[in-house]
Amino acid sequence: MKIGIMGAMHEEIALFRDSMVDVSTQIRGMREYTSGKLAGCDVVVVFSRWGKVAASATATTLIERFDVDMLIFTGVAGAMAAELEVGDIVIADSLIQHDMDVSFLPNTKKFEIPLLGVSNFTVDDIYVQLAQSAAQSYLTNDLRTNVPENTLVSFNVTEPKVVVGLIASGDQFIADPAIADKLCSQLPGLQCVEMEGAAVAQVAYEHSIPCIVMRTISDKADHSAAVDFQQFTIDVASHFTCGSVMRLLESL
């Protein structure tokens, strides 16, 4: 099995590359694809860039050019569920494109992908469980040696937890509580919002391969969302997602 690992942060891709062996690199469509072995698995690692188009193009290249049989997407996300804190990890069991709306068409619901007839892309239970265990194992066993305590404290990360649920994606950085509230009321059970996951899930669905989406909460999708965002991704989130994926690869 060959696994495509897509990240929305330069920093986590750099961490993956540091741990890879038998490495070779190809540039395609303005992306750098690094092939090699990671935790004993054949992988291709790539920085997807941001947004649904960028992520879908990258996912398609991974499938068509690099013959991956599975996709893993990692990155950061804005919390929607009230109980989520910065530093928590969300594993998608379902993904939706919150900016898709062709409900003017007969028999088409809001959020439904035209012609596909699907609104929610679900992740197989087995992969949800593997990803959940991997992230929990990272937090329990690796976190305290992986990220310095004073760094965690500086971002108010105390007891990060792993949560499973619905992730919504759209081409918009959400930093307005009014928009966040509207999304929460339209999408019951929504955990977090980001800009790529459901697009990658659609590509995976259309090619009949599994797709796992793992996100570290970087902000609460409110007016403070941009504060220290970049530093958090470098110092904390990239380690969380990279560490969790390493654990996941060991279990596949």
Contacts with ligand SAH by CB under 6 A lie at 8-9, 50, 75-78, 173-175, 193-196, 218-219, 221, 225, 229-230, 233
Chain position carrying tokens 């992969």: 127
CB-nearer residue toward ligand SAH: 134 or 192: 192
Query: For residues 235 and 147, is the Cβ–Cβ distance under 8 A?
Result: yes
Closer of 36 and 79 to ligand SAH (Cβ): 79
Catalytic residue among 88, 196, 219, 235: 219
**Which strand (E) or helix (H) includes residue 84?**
none
Q: With contact defined as beta carbons under 8 Å apart, do 100 and 87 qualify?
A: no
Q: Which is nearer to ligand SAH, 141 or 186 (CB)?
A: 186
219 classed as catalytic? yes
50 or 66: whose CB is closer to ligand SAH? Answer: 50
- Strands annotated E in 39-160: 41-47, 70-79, 89-97, 121-122
State phi, psi for 9 to the nearest 5 degrees.
-130, 130
What are the residues whose beta carbons fall under 8 Å from the beta carbon of 171, sequence distance 6 or more? 51, 52, 53, 99, 195
Instruction: Let me know if 12 is a catalytic residue.
Output: yes
Q: How far is the CB of 168 from ligand SAH (least distance, A)?
A: 9
Give me the least distance between CB of 195 and ligand SAH, in Å please.
Answer: 4
Distance CA 169, CA 184 (A): 13
Q: Which is nearer to ligand SAH, 68 or 221 (CB)?
A: 221
In the set 11, 12, 32, 250, the catalytic residue is 12
Nearest to 61 by CA among 10, 128, 53, 242: 53
Q: What is the DSSP letter of 141?
A: I
DSSP characters for 9-77? -HHHHHHHHHH-EEEEEEEETTEEEEEEEETTEEEEEEE--SSHHHHHHHHHHHHHTT--SEEEEEEEE
Cα 58 from Cα 46, distance rounded (Å): 8
SS3 97: strand
Residues tagged active-site: 12, 219
